[in-house]
């Protein structure tokens, strides 16, 4: 199934077996890509320190950036696992907060998403208010 075929399906077909298989493959492909990116960043972290001070500073900056990217990617992998778990439980594609279907366009962009746009915006708004208080 292509993205165009997916988007052309009726609302009655939402999260049928064919759509679930499409998103399961999409999640698997994304997870593989992220694991590869993590491996590449881990290699950057293993580069030997240089004797030259300017080289050492540059390498340390690259290492710090790589560690941040690894942390972010591990978070995305955890979200992918949660999405696959939701798929196993029959909850994939439905917002965890509202129970409403998550739009297919959103799932195509962020297949590991477990929240609809409205619920995500509400959480972000609450988070901003809590930080401001």
Mean pLDDT of 39-58: 74
Q: Render pLDDT for 110-124 as a digit per residue (tens, 0 to 9).
A: 999 999 999 999 999
For residues 103 and 116, is the Cβ–Cβ distance under 8 A?
yes
**Res. 53 pLDDT band, cuts 50 70 90:** low
Instruction: Domain count for the chain, please give it.
Output: 1
Mean pLDDT of 72-97: 97
How far is residue 13's CA from residue 35's CA, in Å, rounded to a whole number? 32
For the residues of 88-132, what is the DSSP string, one character each? HTT-TTB-TTT-PBPPHHHHHH-TT--S-HHHHHHHHHHHHHHHH
Domain that holds residue 87: 3-132
Residue 126, domain CATH: 1.20.120.910
What's the pLDDT at 64?
87
Global pTM? 0.83
List Cβ neighbours of 125 (8 Å cut-off, separation of 6 or more): none
Q: Render pLDDT for 3-29 as a digit per residue (tens, 0 to 9).
A: 999 999 999 999 999 999 999 999 999
């Amino acid at each position: 199934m292509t993205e165009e075929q997916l988007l052309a399906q009726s609302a009655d077909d939402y999260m049928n077996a064919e759509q679930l298989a499409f998103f399961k493959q999409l999640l698997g492909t994304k997870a593989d890509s992220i694991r590869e990116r993590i491996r590449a960043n881990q290699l950057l972290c293993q580069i030997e320190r240089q004797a030259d001070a300017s080289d050492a500073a540059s390498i340390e900056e690259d290492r710090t950036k790589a560690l941040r990217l690894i942390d972010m990617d591990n978070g995305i992998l955890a979200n992918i696992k949660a999405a696959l778990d939701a798929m196993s439980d029959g909850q994939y594609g439905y917002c965890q907060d509202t129970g409403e279907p998550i739009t297919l366009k959103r799932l195509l962009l962020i297949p590991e998403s477990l929240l609809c746009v409205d619920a995500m915006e509400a959480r972000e708004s609450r988070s901003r208010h809590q930080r401001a208080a």
